[in-house]
Amino acid sequence: MVKETPMMDEEVLKQQVSHLESTTDYHVEHRQPLHEPEPKLHLKTFLVLVAVAMLNFAQLYNILALGAFARNIAVPLGDSGKSVWLSQSVAVCTAVLAPIFSRGSDLFGRKYFVVFGCVAGFVGDLIVSRASSMNMAIAGAAISGISYGAQPLAYAIPSEIVQRKYRVIANLFANVAGGIGAVMSLLIGSTLMRNGHDERFRILFYISAAIYAVSALICQVFYSPPRLDSQVGTVSQRLGYMDWLGYGLFGGALTGITIGLTWGKNPYSWNSAHVLAPLLIGVGLVVVLIIHQWKFRPDGLFDRHIFSKSRNPAIAFIAVAIEGAGTAIYSTRLSHELPAQIAPRVIPLGFNPQYLGALIGGLAAQNYQLVQSIPGISPAIIGAAVTGLKMAFISATKFIWVFGLAVSVVGALICVFIQNLTLEYTAEIDHPVEKPEVEHNEFA
């Protein structure tokens, strides 16, 4: 028996390991014969499907709570100017960790990453719910943001644990759960904090922490799949196969662009150093990333192996990319609408225009002490300004919905070109939760 050389081991590793091969494999050879006995799903499979749907629910619930109720959170905690980082910290964590979680789960297994993500979400939301300062709340949001690194797994796992022909239904279940989570976050949050009860934001995050905890428990107990074909080689070999430079460039680029777009007109002007510096750094890192992936790491973050099998991954990548920059557009629109809606209402009442900025800032931050200290302020002026504030938020929000509709239409048109892979949706299970049993025709 000839012993394989280390070089041979490395070659075997590179051949067997590829990006997301279990969820993006379009080869025809995986089609099952017409009379192949169909695997039977067990209770564990459905429990894991529910757990992953709960993860999706918690993530959408959490990000809506951090964004939509940031001003309410700032009332008891103070530092309203920092409240934008409640949601932006999650966006940064998603950009940095999602590629690492995705690739790491290929090499080390899905379970570690999905359970760790759920536990991080539980701990982070618990910190937010107990926060005594805005800095503590932002730290909790950042920790819960770790759970968003597992966001791709909320779609990979359902696709792998059921028959291929039910893959669309499984992903639909996860998507519907996320949508319900977003709606429930808004309904529960607005109900809890109605009539100035801003301190009740804590209950909002107790709920999401509990959902994360249940999801982590179910996955830990019931999700023990067999090893993936890509789980080969030593730990150091697998770590070396990950594109750490690509992850760093990608995370740095998106972080810089996110910060720049967030600060644009909120509170800095677009030509200020606070906005231009992170934006230019982010764009520069994008250029470096493209060169790195093109010339030096074809099997790295954007593995060409994925795009060589079908046009669908490229189309999906483009469709997802056009969803970006909504936050920046909303901030820019709101910055324009606030003075446009408030000034015409308060200046005719005798308000000094030189204090307009202080009035808008105080009302937007719900800093009533600042508003009361403005020279010439009166209850009538405050009432008119609050009306203008509400109208500004309505106008900015309406614009975002129109923008979302336009983006959705473009995305739908792009998806028309998706290749039909109906023949790939067979009764085969790519990566079952448990060793599948099969139902033979004679026992049907």
Its sign, for the CA torsion 295, 299, 302, 306, is positive
Task: Grade residue 212 by pLDDT with cuts at 50, 70 and 90.
Answer: very high
Contact assessment for residue 141 and residue 92, using Cβ atoms and an 8 Å cutoff: no
Give the whole-angstrom CA distance, residue 66 versus residue 363.
19
Per the DSSP assignment, residues forming a β-bridge with 163 are 429
Per residue in 146-194, pLDDT tens?
Answer: 999 998 899 889 988 888 888 888 888 988 999 999 899 989 998 998 8
Determine what percent of the chain is predicted with pLDDT higher than 70. Answer: 85
CA angle 106, 108, 111 (to 5 degrees): 90
Give the whole-angstrom CA distance, residue 363 versus residue 382.
9
CATH number of 43-228: 1.20.1250.20
- Asked if the model's pLDDT at residue 86 lies above 70, the reply is yes
Residue 268 phi, psi (nearest 5) = -95, 155
Per residue in 356-398, pLDDT tens?
Answer: 888 887 887 667 778 888 998 999 999 999 999 889 888 888 8
Contact assessment for residue 65 and residue 189, using Cβ atoms and an 8 Å cutoff: yes
Token pair recorded at residue 9: 């081991």
Among 138-147, 236-245, 271-280, 313-322, the range with the most confident prediction by mean pLDDT is 138-147
The helix/strand count (H/E) of the chain reads as 18, 2
- Output the pTM of the full model: 0.75
Per residue in 271-302, pLDDT tens?
Answer: 888 889 999 999 999 999 989 888 888 777 77
Average pLDDT over residues 205-210: 95
- Asked if the model's pLDDT at residue 18 lies above 50, the reply is no
- Asked if the model's pLDDT at residue 327 lies above 50, the reply is yes
Give the whole-angstrom CA distance, residue 408 versus residue 398.
15
- What residue ranges do the domains of the chain occupy? 43-228, 243-303, 310-422
